[in-house]
Amino acid sequence: MAIFIDLLLNALVIGVLLGGFYAALSIGLSITFGLLDVVNIAHPTMLVLGAFIAFLLNSTWGIDPVLAGIISTPFFFVLGWLIYQVYYNVFEKSGAESLRGLAFFFGLLFIIEVGLIIQFGVDHRLVEAPYIGQSWNIVIGEEIDVAIPFRLLVAFVVAAIATLAIHAYLTKTFFGRAVRAVAQDMMALRLMGVDPIRVKRIAFAMGVATAGIGGALMIIVLPIEPSLGRLYLGNVFAIVVLGGLGSISGTLLAAVIIGIAESIVATFFGPSWAPAVSFGILLAVLAFRPEGLFGKTAGAH
């Protein structure tokens, strides 16, 4: 019994930490997809790109991965800016975003992934930092102690700061309110004398920019390889849809739920079943509760 409680407690703690990390991966998509209605299915692959940039900076100059993530964030902002420019002019303006827009982002996902394979191969990559590989043991009772790996703790703390900052920015500042206004009623915003396309462009670039810091956290938490993006597609979409489209706080809560579910399944059934968890939850949510926990209806609109 003590072993069971020990495993469960560890799984819960790891799950919460994992959830914070997942929130950092999903918040960009929550902005681009949830608020702006741009289906950036390449987002997880951009995260992997961010992770490889962090790897490169870390292995050549020994830069701390978190710092590397902050360094690469402006690069992703510009990338997002350019992508939205193309997306708007080619697809959104003519109302052809559904089929062709999806194919466009699928193609982008593919180009980034295969590009990474050509450049780095399919081997798993790691970074070096003083906090990686150590953990913090908390003894609770007889035969019960909780081990908190520092790598997850660092990722959790950075993710929490980043997501809370974005959350505050979107709810408290003038521009953040403009972004949410775009999501609600673009025409009304235009009548108020604001250029909604400019707002969308900046917001989309912000969403993509989170791939810099998110990717860095990714390589801190686990070894990375190029095809990881498609695996995380399930995670991030499950989180955004479960949280409810357009709800940043819903995204945070959903991330923790998915993190705990994955961690419990990995502990009791084996880690190789973990990918099926988020995809299974995603399928179930889409089939039975497309509106998610909070927010507007997904799927049937």
Partner 1 sequence: MKYTFEIICMLLIVGLFVLTQVVGNQFYFFIGFVILQYMVMATAWNILGGYGGYVNFGSAGFLATGAYTAVALINFLDVGLVEQMVAGGIFAGLLGLATGYLTLRLRGVYFAIATLALAIILETVVAHWDYVGGAAGTSILPKRKPELLGELIVDRKAGIFANYKEYLFFLMGTVAIISVWVARYIENSKLGRGLNAIKDSEEAAECMGVPTLRLKLIATTISGAMMGVAGAPLASYLTFIDPLSAFNLEYAINAIAMPMIGGTVSWAGPVIGALLLGTAQQVSSLWIQSELNLLIVGVVLVVFVIIAPEGIIGWFRKSRQGSRR
Find the part of the chain contacting partner 1 (CB under 8 A) among 124-132, 179-187, 249-257, 293-301: 293-301
What is the spatial distance between Cα 215 and Cα 71, in angstroms, rounded to a whole number? 12
Does 179 bind partner 1 (CB under 8 A)? Our answer is: no
Find the part of the chain contacting partner 1 (CB under 8 A) among 1-9, 145-153, 232-240, 255-263: 232-240
Does 237 bind partner 1 (CB under 8 A)? Our answer is: yes
Place of tokens 């989309």: 204
Does 299 bind partner 1 (CB under 8 A)? Our answer is: yes
Query: In whole angstroms, how close is the CB of 140 to partner 1 at the nearest point?
Result: 33
Count residues binding partner 1 (CB under 8 A): 43
Does 52 bind partner 1 (CB under 8 A)? Our answer is: no
What x/- string results for residues 15 through 44 when contact with partner 1 is judged by CB under 8 A?
Answer: ------------------------x-x---
For residue 277 the two structure tokens come to 């968890």
Query: In whole angstroms, how close is the CB of 173 to partner 1 at the nearest point?
Result: 29
In DSSP terms, 144 is beta-bridged to: 141
Amino acid at 75: F
Does 110 bind partner 1 (CB under 8 A)? Our answer is: yes
Q: Residue 48 in contact with residue 228, Cβ under 8 Å?
A: yes
Query: In whole angstroms, how close is the CB of 288 to partner 1 at the nearest point?
Result: 9
What is the spatial distance between Cα 221 and Cα 232, in angstroms, rounded to a whole number? 14
Torsional class of 149: left (φ above 0), alpha (ψ -120 to 50), beta (otherwise):
beta
Q: Which of 5, 78, 96, 157 binds partner 1 (CB under 8 A)?
A: 96
Find the part of the chain contacting partner 1 (CB under 8 A) among 15-23, 125-133, 143-151, 273-281: 273-281
Find the part of the chain contacting partner 1 (CB under 8 A) among 114-122, 139-147, 163-171, 255-263: 114-122
Does 273 bind partner 1 (CB under 8 A)? Our answer is: yes
CA separation (Å) from 104 to 8, 23, 39, 90, 286?
43, 26, 10, 10, 23
In DSSP terms, 296 is beta-bridged to: 245
Does 135 bind partner 1 (CB under 8 A)? Our answer is: no
Query: In whole angstroms, how close is the CB of 267 to partner 1 at the nearest point?
Result: 17
- In the complex with partner 1, the residue whose CB is nearer, 82 or 117, is 117
For the chain, give the number of residues: 301
SS3 per residue for 181-236: HHHHCHHHHHHCCCCHHHHHHHHHHHHHHHHHHHHHHHHHHCCECCCHHHHHHHHH
Element (H, E) at 144: strand 144-149
Residue 27 CB burial class (10 angstroms; 0-12, 13-18, ≥19):
buried
Residues near partner 1 (CB under 8 A): 39, 41, 86, 90, 96, 98-100, 102-104, 106-108, 110-111, 113-115, 117-118, 227, 230-231, 233-234, 237, 241, 272-273, 275-276, 279-280, 282-283, 286-287, 290, 298-301
